[in-house]
């Protein structure tokens, strides 16, 4: 990638930009909170994780250039994590002019019922299937998907490793005992949809949709002991409960700095060294 292009990036080196902090049904259909995923820049390599509905709007609004992306990753095929995969692929390849970038997704989002159109797949350099316990790399970015989550469809979280930092992201899942041991990191990202533990059942499918709640987040933060924890992916109930106040309480109960992400928030990894 040309030096000039990197300098023009609105995503500083070693930062995460939240293109949305909303999750689950009512947030994605109301867009009360945006649902565009997280834009990473690790050591100058830019990539996107979980581009939900509106990602292209949020990215362009914040002057992030999709042509800088080296990869698009999705944790699972649910709409709030994958809806903008196609348009972001189109943008990453400059409308199909420049063949570039990789796409990483669980098998059921690539093979069973692909979330990416076939014609777009031909415009990128690689498509990789995520699996439990595997490691991957592109450019200088290394990550693993340590364990399959309990979340209906095939779902993985991520552990990113840079020369200086590790970032663990527990995406959508029901809480289970082994979560903490798989997600060690200086920075811990948590998708916290509910303020209280709750069994949510999709009324049409009759299937449970499993998510973490604040007490789950508290357990995980205490066990993992990151330098900083960031909560995101808030459902409507969580939003009404004021995530920033819940984060403050968690900071007090865990002794660890806990942040409730805001739409458009940029987190610089240098804050972990403070």
Which residues of the chain form contacts with Zn ion (CB under 5 A)? 78, 172
- For the bound state, the minimum distance from the C-beta of residue 236 to Zn ion, rounded and expressed in Å, comes to 15
Q: Among residues 78 and 123, whose Cβ is nearest to Zn ion?
A: 78
- For the bound state, the minimum distance from the C-beta of residue 65 to Zn ion, rounded and expressed in Å, comes to 28
- For the bound state, the minimum distance from the C-beta of residue 151 to Zn ion, rounded and expressed in Å, comes to 6
Q: Among residues 88 and 109, whose Cβ is nearest to Zn ion?
A: 109
- For the bound state, the minimum distance from the C-beta of residue 48 to Zn ion, rounded and expressed in Å, comes to 17
Q: Among residues 17 and 173, whose Cβ is nearest to Zn ion?
A: 173
For every residue of the chain, which 3-state class applies, written as one string? CCHHHHHCCCCCCCEEEEEECECCHHHHHHCCCCEEEEEEEECCEEEEECCCCCHHHHHHHCCCCHHHEEEEECCCCCHHHHCCHHHHHHHHCCCCCCCCCEEEEEHHHHHHCCCCCHHHHCCCCEEEEECCCEEEEECCEEEEECCECCCCCCCECEEEECCCCEEEEECCCCCCCCHHHHCCCCEEEEEEEECCCCCEECCCCCCEECCEEHHHHHHHHHHHCCCEEEEECECHHHHHCCHHHHHHHHHHHHCCEEEECCCCCEEEHHHHHC
- For the bound state, the minimum distance from the C-beta of residue 78 to Zn ion, rounded and expressed in Å, comes to 4
Q: Among residues 74 and 269, whose Cβ is nearest to Zn ion?
A: 74
Q: Among residues 78 and 182, whose Cβ is nearest to Zn ion?
A: 78
Q: Among residues 51 and 66, whose Cβ is nearest to Zn ion?
A: 51
Residue nearest to Zn ion (CB): 78
- For the bound state, the minimum distance from the C-beta of residue 25 to Zn ion, rounded and expressed in Å, comes to 10
């Amino acid at each position: 990638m040309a030096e000039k292009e990197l300098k023009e990036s609105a995503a500083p080196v070693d930062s995460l930009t939240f293109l949305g902090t909303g999750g689950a049904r009512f947030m994605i259909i109301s867009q009360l909170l945006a649902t565009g995923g997280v834009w990473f820049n690790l050591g100058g390599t830019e990539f996107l994780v979980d581009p939900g509905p509106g990602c292209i709007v949020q990215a362009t609004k914040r002057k992030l250039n999709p042509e800088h992306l080296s990869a698009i990753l999705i944790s699972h095929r649910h709409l709030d994590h994958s809806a903008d995969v196609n348009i972001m692929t189109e943008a990453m390849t400059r409308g199909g002019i420049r063949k570039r970038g990789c796409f990483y997704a669980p098998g059921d989002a690539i093979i069973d019922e692909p979330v990416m159109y076939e014609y777009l797949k031909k415009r990128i350099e690689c498509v990789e299937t995520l699996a439990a316990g595997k490691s991957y790399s592109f450019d200088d970015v290394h990550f693993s998907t340590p364990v399959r989550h309990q979340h209906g469809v095939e779902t993985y979280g991520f552990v990113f490793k840079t020369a200086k930092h590790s970032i663990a992201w527990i995406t959508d899942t029901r809480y289970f005992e082994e979560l903490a041991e798989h997600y060690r990191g200086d920075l811990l990202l948590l998708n916290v949809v509910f303020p209280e533990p709750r069994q949510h059942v999709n009324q049409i499918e009759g299937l449970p949709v499993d998510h973490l709640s604040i007490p789950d987040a508290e357990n995980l933060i205490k066990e993992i002991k990151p330098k900083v924890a960031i909560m995101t992916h808030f459902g409507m109930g969580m939003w009404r409960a004021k995530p920033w106040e819940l984060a403050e309480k968690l900071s007090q109960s865990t002794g660890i700095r806990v942040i409730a992400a805001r739409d458009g928030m940029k987190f610089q990894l240098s804050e972990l060294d403070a």
